[in-house]
Structure formats: structure tokens, C-alpha cells
Amino acid sequence: MDQNRVTAYEVLINISEKNSYSNIELNNRIAEKKPNSPPFVRELVYGVLKNQYSLDYIIGQLSSRKLEKMQICLLVILRMGLYQIIYMDSVPDYAAVDECVKLTKKVAFGRSGFINGVLRNFLRNRDTLKKPEDEKNEVKRLSLTYSIDPWIVRLWLNQYGERAEKLLQASNMKPRLCLRVNTLRIEPAELVERLKQRGVDLREARRVKDLLIVKSGSVIETPEFKEGLFFVQDAASALAVERLAPKEGSTIIDLCAAPGGKSLDSAIIMKNTGRVMSFDVHGNKLHVIEKSAERLGVSVIETREQDSMIENPDLIELGDYVICDAPCSGLGVLDRKPEIKYRKLEDDGRALAEKQFSLLETASKYVKRYGKLMYSTCTINMIENKDVVSRFLKEHSDFKIKEARQLMPDEDGTDGFFYCVMKRQ
């Protein structure tokens, strides 16, 4: 039994049945199962997730059994088999079919003949099957072509018109890996040279200071990572903190801080002076921030478990800078978390926007006079971004916008990310 495919199968099953996040499931299962090719496992998992609707469209044409009545274990195995046949040139067709049959014998006794029949049916008839682009309905065509739930397609068509298809296309692109240089210990040019000697091809970002973009190579296992010379942070998040521009010796309050990128970035910009208070409602995530801070040599971060929806009187007007990175729909990071593409959001995010507004209101009370407040999300849904800020400013005349920007994956090459820096008058 191929351990790589078993690992991928278990990850996909847990994502489907438990609504788990792909990155967490992959890391946990790879650590547990120890497959001999983690890159193969990751490609198969992310490939199936990114193309789930289009794969199901094919399965629906090959099987007389309706998808909604099919056992999830069989559906996952068929998706895995089709993805290998269609997209993975390194896997021969016969091997993809054979390994799926072996896997079925392990997890669904007596159903291997069904899996074998459907996959071989595809090999015989692949050129005669209907294609998503043949669909007449625009929403259905785009949903199937880019494998994304129709509610997101309708939302983006409504908000962005013809540009929506470019956003859909970007959601299936391979995400960029960016490194925030720890300038407490090294300068960007020196780190570039050191990593190049490790076989990592990278360049300095043009628009964001102290950020490197990895073009190829593995960085996490390098001595430079272990020495705390950098941490992983997307350009959009790094740009937002750069525009917040915290000064040395300041007090920063970071609500919803985990996994801690903005807290770490702020501490480094302040040259490890002042105070960074990092809160998160999930106490089990705080160790990630603490571990990263220790690795990077950052000593000014204080972590605390706290529900930031509830006002803390000890924090009133304490922060020179307050970061409110609100929980959101995640529509800007579909390339990193493709499972989000299939999770429907109530009322296009209006209920979520109510919570975001309440969180922002609470965060604003922690800002000193003449201090700065930053609201940010990793989504491109106007309801969660522009509308939340507009409502907040109407009800809080003592705050004025210094800078607001919606970063778009199709145009900016970053995560889809919104930030708004406001100053208290």
C-alpha cells in the first residue's frame, strides 16, 4: 500500500467530514504517517481540493450513481484517481487506477470493482465527455471551470463584474512564498546570498521593505530558518504593517494575533523595543507566536488568551497602535486554503460583517488619542471590508483614514487582502 496516497486520502477525508483546514491536516498527517514523498502528498491533496467541482462534474458523467448518494470514501478515491490521470504527468494512468483499487480494498471492502470501472470508463471516453466551458449558464460555467461554489461566483460578478473571472482564475494559482527578513539579525542582501548557497532561488520584493520572494527551493529546513533569520509572511500582510509604521518604544495591541505574523513584524520594525501585546481567543495557538518569537530573538511580545469581542477595561486607550485583523471569509486566500471554496457563507458575509464591526468598535477603544488603528482582513468581499469601515467611520467621527487599500491576487500578485489605517483625532 502506497503510504503517500494513504496519507493524502486521510487528509481529504478529514477535510470533508470534519471541516478541517488543509494546511493543518497536511502537517499533522505527514508528521504522523511519515510518507516518503511529502511533496507528492501535498500536490495530490491541494490538486484535488482546487479542482473538486470539475472532478465531480466528470464523475457525474461516468457513474450512474448520483454524487450525493455516493459514499464519501468512494468519491474521494475517484477524485484522487482522476486528478492523477488528468494533471500528474509523473503518474502513469495504469498506476493511478491500480493504486486507487488497492486503496479501495483497504477502506471500502467490496467496492474496488466500482472504482476500477469508473476510472477505466474515463480512460475510454475522456475525449467525448462534456466540458464545463460548454455550459450555457454563466454562473454554472464559471463555478465548474474554476471549481468554486456558485455563491462566490455570484458575489464577485456582482461586486467586480467582468473582472470576476480573473479573480476566479487567480484562486487556482500556486501561491507565492514570501519571507520577512529578521533585520534584528541580518540584512536582506546577506540572507539572499546565504540562501542561494543552499540552492534557494529568490529575490527582494520591489514594493515591500525587507521581504524576499522565493522562486524555487526549500527554506524551512535550512540553518537560516533555525537561526531565526526570517519568518514566512505574505507580502500583503507585510505591506499593511509597513504602512502602519509603528515607532520604536511604542505599545502595540494585536487582537486575533495568531499565528503572529503582524506581531512579529511590528516588533522587528520597532527594533525589539516597546511592547507588543498579542491576544487570541484560541489559547492553544499562542504557543506558535511564543515559539516564533523565541526563534527570532524577539523579547517584547506578550501573549494572552482573550476573547477580543469582549471589552477589556485594562486596555482602554493603552495602545499607540492597535491591530484588528478580523476573522473573515478568507476569500483572498483560496489558493492557500482551497477548502474554503466549497463552504457557503450566510447572507454573503453580512452576519460575519456584524461581528467584524463589533470587534472593530471594541478595538477602537484601546487606541490612545492620536494613536493609530488598523483594520484588516484576508478577503476581497466588499461587505466585510469597505462597508465595515464606512459604517465605523460614520459612527466614530474621531477616527480619520490615513490609508486604505484592497490588494488583489490577480493584479498585485499577493493574497487578496484589505487594510485600512486610521488615526484617532
Options 100, 178, 378, 420, the catalytic residue: 378
Q: What is the 3 state secondary structure string of the chain?
A: CCHHHHHHHHHHHHHHHHCCCHHHHHHHHHHHHCCCCHHHHHHHHHHHHHCHHHHHHHHHHHCCCCHHHCCHHHHHHHHHHHHHHHHCCCCCHHHHHHHHHHHHHHHCCCCHHHHHHHHHHHHHHHHHCCCHHHCCCHHHHHHHHCCCCHHHHHHHHHHHHHHHHHHHHHCCCCCCEEEEECCCCCCHHHHHHHHHCCCCEEEECCCCCCEEEEEECCCCCCHHHHCCCEEECCHHHHHHHHHHCCCCCCEEEEECCCCCHHHHHHHHHCCCCCEEEEEECCHHHHHHHHHHHHHHCCCCEEEEECCCCCCCHHHCCCEEEEEEECCCCCCCCCCCCHHHHHCCCHHHHHHHHHHHHHHHHHHHCCEEEEEEEEEEECCCCCCCCHHHHHHHHHHCCCEEEEEEEEECHHHHCCCCEEEEEEEEC
* Residue 378 annotated among the catalytic residues of the structure: yes
Catalytic residue set: 378
